[in-house]
C-alpha cells in the first residue's frame, strides 16, 4: 500500500503535581491565560462547572508527571450542551481535543473517544462533517446536528498525533508509530477520569474510522494494559467496554485483494473496470498475497514489505486511480483535482475556512504556535508513519486480544466505500484467530433495519457472536455518519445499549 493510499485512509514515581507551567504558551488573544488550579499538590477538580471560558485550568497526576491537561469551557457549536476544549501537554508536545457532554444525561451516559485517520487527518472532520453536535455545510458557520453521537453519550474528538489539526510541538518533535501515539492517549484518558470523578467507572468506548482501524485497537490495548498497573497502584481503572471501527484499515493483507471485488464484481455497484483489466487483475491476486504474506506478515522485512506493497498497489489498486471515481464513495465521481484539494468533499474547504477564523480560534483557545491557516490533513505526519511502515504492522491481533478480555468490538462499514471496503473488512473478521472464531464464522449475515422497522427497508447486513459484530450500512461511503446519519446513530445507540443487531 503506497503512501498515497495510507494518507487517504481516513483521521499517556509519585511526584508532586505542578500546575504552573504550560509549554510554549503566553497570555494573550487566542491563548487564554493559565489559571493555577491548586497549591501544587494533586487534587481532583471533579466539577467541570468550575472551569473557566477565558482561562485554562491545568490538570496533572503524579502517576504521569510529564503529562498535563489544559482545559477550558468553550461555548460554540451547540448551545444545548456544555463543550470544552484544550490540550494534552506532554512536555514539549501538545495534542488538541474537543469534549462535548451528552444531550441526554451527562452524569450517567457513556463516554466515547473519537479519532479520524489519515494518518494525519484532524478529528475536526468527524466533528464538523460527520457525527458531532454541529455541522459545517457551507460558508455560514455551524448548524445544529440532530443525529449527533452525543445524543446519548459524552464524546471526545482528538487531533492526534502531534502535528495534526490544532496539535503542535515546540521543537519539531514527531510521532511515527501508532504504538508511540497510544501511550499519550492512554495517559490523557486516565488524567481526565481522575480529575472529573463523575466519569469514573463509566463505560468507555474507543472509536475511529479509516486509519482508526489501526489506531483504535492499539490505543484500546494500551488503555487495558495500563489499567492493570493502575489497579495495582490503588487507582480506579478505566471501564473500557468496547471499540468501534468504521471503514477501517485493520488488516492490510485482506484489504488489498478486496480491491478486485469492488472494481470487478457487483459487491456494491456494477463493475467499474473493463473485463480485460479485471482478468489481468485477478491473476495478480495470488502473487500479491504470497509476497505480502512472506515479507509483511510471516516475517516483517521493511524493504521487502515495501516492495511487495508497491507491486500489489500497481496491479490491484492502481487501476482505480484512473477511473476518476470517489475512493470514499465508488458511486460518485471525483477527479484528481477534487481529491487533492478537498478529499472529494467540498465541505472540507468550509471546515478549513471556519477553523482558520481568528474569532473561532480565540474561542477554542488554540495556541498561537499553531499555523494561522488550518489544515485538515497533515502530509508530514503521514510521511512519518509511512517511513516507519506503520500501516503494515499487524493490528488484527490487538482486536483478538481485546475480545479475549471481554472488550466488545464493532466493525461497521459503508457499502460504497472502496478504499477500506466492506469486502476486505468482512474477510479479516472471518479470518481473525480467537476463541470465538468458530461461533462468529458460523453466523450468517442477516438484515437489520433502522429502528428495527423493516417496513422502511433494509439498512444493512450484520453478523455477531461472542462480542464481535460486523455490520454493513447500505448506500453509505467511507464516512458513514456523513452519508447515513440516522442509520449511523442507530448503530451506535444499539451498540451502547447492548441491544445488538
Question: Which of 89, 390, 417, 474 is the catalytic position?
Answer: 417
* Run of H or E residues at 112: strand 110-115
Q: CA 263, CA 271: separation in Å to the nearest integer?
A: 5
Q: What is the CA radius of gyration of the chain?
A: 22
Phi-psi region of 477 (alpha: psi -120 to 50; beta: other; left: phi over 0): beta
Residue 478 is among the residues annotated as catalytic for this protein: yes
Question: Which of 2, 122, 124, 210 is the catalytic position?
Answer: 210
The DSSP code for 197 is: G
For residue 369, the Cα-to-chain-centroid distance in whole angstroms is 25
C-alpha cell at 294: 512472506
Residues 6+ away with beta carbon under 8 Å from 140:
none
178-195 and 212-232 helices cross at what angle (nearest 10)? 50
Measured CA angle at 342 (ends 339, 343), to 5 deg: 50
113 in Cβ contact with 184 (< 8 Å)? no
C-alpha cell at 429: 473478521
From residue 326, alpha-carbon distances to 10, 15, 386, 418, 480 in Å are 13, 52, 23, 8, 14
Query: CB count, 10 Å around CB of 270?
Result: 7
Residue 210 is among the residues annotated as catalytic for this protein: yes
Q: Which residues are catalytic?
A: 210, 417, 478
Amino acid at each position: 500500500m503506497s503512501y498515497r493510499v495510507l494518507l487517504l485512509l481516513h483521521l499517556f514515581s509519585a511526584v508532586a503535581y505542578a500546575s504552573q507551567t504550560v509549554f510554549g504558551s503566553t497570555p494573550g488573544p487566542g491563548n487564554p491565560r493559565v489559571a493555577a488550579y491548586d497549591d501544587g499538590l494533586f487534587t481532583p477538580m471533579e466539577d467541570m462547572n468550575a472551569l473557566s471560558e477565558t482561562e485554562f485550568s491545568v490538570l496533572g497526576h503524579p502517576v504521569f508527571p510529564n503529562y498535563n491537561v489544559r482545559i477550558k469551557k468553550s461555548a460554540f457549536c451547540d448551545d444545548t450542551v456544555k463543550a470544552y476544549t484544550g490540550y494534552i501537554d506532554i512536555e514539549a508536545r501538545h495534542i488538541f481535543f474537543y469534549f462535548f457532554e451528552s444531550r441526554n444525561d451527562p452524569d450517567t451516559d457513556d463516554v466515547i473517544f473519537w479519532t479520524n485517520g489519515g494518518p494525519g487527518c484532524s478529528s475536526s472532520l468527524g466533528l464538523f462533517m460527520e457525527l458531532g453536535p454541529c455541522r459545517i455545510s457551507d460558508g455560514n458557520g455551524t448548524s445544529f446536528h440532530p443525529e449527533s453521537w452525543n445524543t446519548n453519550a459524552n464524546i471526545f474528538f482528538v487531533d492526534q498525533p502531534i502535528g495534526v489539526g490544532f496539535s503542535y510541538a515546540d521543537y519539531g518533535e514527531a510521532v511515527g508509530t501508532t504504538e508511540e501515539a497510544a501511550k499519550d492517549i492512554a495517559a490523557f484518558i486516565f488524567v481526565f477520569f481522575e480529575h472529573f470523578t463523575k466519569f469514573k467507572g463509566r463505560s468507555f468506548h474507543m472509536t475511529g474510522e479509516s486509519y482508526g482501524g489501526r489506531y483504535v485497537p492499539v490505543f484500546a490495548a494500551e488503555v487495558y494494559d495500563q489499567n492493570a498497573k493502575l489497579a495495582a497502584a490503588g487507582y480506579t481503572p478505566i471501564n473500557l467496554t468496547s471499540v468501534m471501527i468504521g471503514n477501517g484499515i485493520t488488516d492490510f493483507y485482506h484489504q488489498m485483494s478486496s480491491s478486485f471485488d469492488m472494481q470487478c464484481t457487483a459487491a456494491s455497484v456494477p463493475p467499474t473496470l473493463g473485463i480485460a483489466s479485471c482478468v489481468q487483475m485477478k491473476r495478480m491476486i495470488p502473487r500479491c498475497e504470497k509476497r505480502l504474506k512472506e515479507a509483511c506478515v510471516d516475517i516483517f522485512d521493511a524493504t521487502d514489505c515495501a516492495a511487495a506493497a508497491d507491486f500489489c498497489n500497481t496491479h490491484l489498486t492502481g487501476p482505480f486511480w484512473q477511473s476518476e471515481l470517489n475512493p470514499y464513495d465508488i458511486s460518485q465521481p471525483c477527479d484528481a483535482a477534487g481529491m487533492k484539494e478537498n478529499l472529494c468533499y467540498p465541505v472540507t474547504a468550509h471546515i478549513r475556512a471556519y477553523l482558520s477564523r481568528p474569532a473561532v480560534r480565540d474561542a477554542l483557545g488554540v495556541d498561537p504556535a499553531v499555523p494561522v491557516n488550518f489544515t485538515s490533513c497533515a502530509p508530514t505526519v503521514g510521511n512519518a508513519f509511512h517511513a516507519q511502515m506503520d500501516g503494515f504492522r499487524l493490528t488484527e491481533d490487538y482486536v483478538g486480544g481485546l475480545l479475549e478480555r471481554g472488550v466488545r468490538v464493532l466493525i461497521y462499514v459503508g457499502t460504497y466505500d472502496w478504499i477500506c471496503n466492506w469486502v476486505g473488512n468482512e474477510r479479516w473478521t472471518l479470518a481473525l484467530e480467537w476463541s470465538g472464531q468458530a461461533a462468529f464464522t458460523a453466523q450468517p449475515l442477516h438484515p437489520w433495519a433502522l429502528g428495527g422497522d423493516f417496513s422502511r427497508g433494509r439498512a444493512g447486513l450484520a453478523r455477531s457472536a461472542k462480542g464481535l459484530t460486523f455490520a454493513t450500512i447500505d448506500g453509505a461511503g467511507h464516512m458513514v455518519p456523513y452519508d447515513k446519519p440516522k442509520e449511523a446513530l442507530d448503530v451506535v445507540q444499539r451498540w451502547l445499549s447492548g441491544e445488538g443487531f
